[in-house]
Amino acid sequence: MMQIDVLSLFPDMFTGVFQSSILKKAADNDLASFHVTDYRDFSLDKHHRVDDYPYGGGAGMVLTAQPLFDAVDHVTAQAKAKPRVILMTPQGERFDHQKAVELSKEEHLIFICGHYEGYDERIREHLVTDELSIGDYVLTGGELPAMVMIDSVVRLLPGVLGNEASPIADSFSNGLLEHPQYTRPADFRGMKVPEVLLSGHHKNIEAWRHKESLRRTFERRPDLLENYPLSEQEKQWINDWQQAKKNG
Ligand code: SAH
């Protein structure tokens, strides 16, 4: 079972997320355990402060090292596996599918959520193993980024999604975006489902899906194709699509 600890000043934010849908199912089935710790409880300051003015002056407060170091010691005291200690920060490496796969192989993840302020640099240098960002924008706290990462990691754990095959077909997992999907009816207000999908011919359906997956990636995320090994046939298709694009 994967152990997930979150260190946050706003633990209530996690209740809905951990008690709904796939994350709840993962916990109910003992595939993952979630625990949120309020690191303010570890502050040795008499007013339970967790931040202080920056040395050298300037605006903004800085999260102090002591409560976070002590909170990490606390959640690792009983742990058997060496944890990944992950700092939520817009300055971190960009989180993506590959990172989710990498983290899904760990036994113990600790997510540290900042709020408003910066971190004392010694937290980055000596406490954490990873610094991750969910994108080039700034949020008020690390709680939402931690939820994003936890959700995408936990859904990859074997047995968490009902249908074992489903994460494999997802966008990014084979380097491409997912192919278009249709469901009933076959004709909705004159908008028809592609014939091949109604044919029952599995090989043709697979081939169509693969080609459409490639087309969609070419149209929306050509950057993903830079690392994708293209077959001769695929190169030909892309050439055709490029020509079609040029000809408007
Ligand atoms: N002054 C800081 C930003 C503070 S934002 C700086 O310039 O780096 C407050 C907190 O929100 C951060 O400590 C971090 O935990 C979280 N946060 C904000 N944006 C984020 C992002 N894109 N990815 C991950 N965490 C983020």
The one-character DSSP state at 226 is G
Q: In whole angstroms, what is the distance from residue 215 CA to residue 209 CA?
A: 10
Domain count, the chain: 2
Residue 164 domain flag: no
- Does 178 lie in the same domain as 150? no
160: nearest Cα among 11, 21, 8, 51: 21
Same domain, 209 and 109: no
Residue 30 within a domain: yes
**Ligand 1 pocket check for 114: Cβ under 6 Å:** yes
Are 20 and 113 within one domain?
yes
Mean local confidence (pLDDT), 123-149: 98
Indicate whether 89 and 22 sit together in one domain.
Answer: yes
Domain assignment present for 163: no
Same-domain check for residues 138 and 185: no
Q: Please tell me the distance from the alpha carbon of residue 20 to that of residue 14, in angstroms, as a whole number.
A: 10
Between CA 27 and CA 152 the distance in angstroms is 15
Domain that holds residue 193: 171-246
CA of 51 relative to ligand 1 center, distance in Å: 15
Residues ≥6 apart with Cβ < 8 Å to 197: 182, 205, 208
Residues 141, 190 within the same domain: no
Supply 237's token pair.
Answer: 């298709």
The reply to whether 125 falls in a domain is yes
- Nearest 5°: the CA angle 51, 86, 221 is 120
Looking at the structure, do residues 14 and 76 belong to the same domain, yes or no? yes
140, 202: one domain: no
From 63, 64, 88, mutation site for ligand 1 pocket: most ligand atoms within 8 A of C-beta = 88
In a domain, 72, yes or no: yes
**Claim to verify: residue 112 and residue 185 sit in the same structural domain:** no
Pocket of ligand 1 contains residue 118 by CB under 6 Å: yes
Which tokens is 101 given?
Answer: 């796969």
Active site residues: 90, 117, 155, 170
Task: Indicate which CATH number applies to the domain containing 11.
Answer: 3.40.1280.10
Q: Same domain for 130 and 186? A: no
User: Does ligand 1 come within 6 angstroms of the Cβ of 167?
Assistant: no
Give the pLDDT of residue 165: 62
d(CA 35, CA 5): 5
pLDDT the model gives residue 80? 84
| Best probe residue, ligand 1, of 111, 124, 131, 138 (max atoms within 8 Å of C-beta) | 138
Annotated binding site: 114, 134-139
Give the nearest ligand 1 atom to 119 CA: 13
In whole angstroms, what separates CA 113 from the centre of its chain? 15
The protein residue with its alpha carbon nearest to ligand 1, atom 13, reads 114
Q: Is 139 helix (H, G, I), strand (E, B) or coil?
A: coil
- pLDDT tens for residues 176-226? 999 999 999 999 999 999 999 999 999 999 999 999 999 999 999 999 999
User: Is residue 81 very low, low, confident or very high in pLDDT (cuts 50, 70, 90)?
Assistant: confident
The amino acid occupying position 69 is F
What token pair was written down for 24? 């709840």
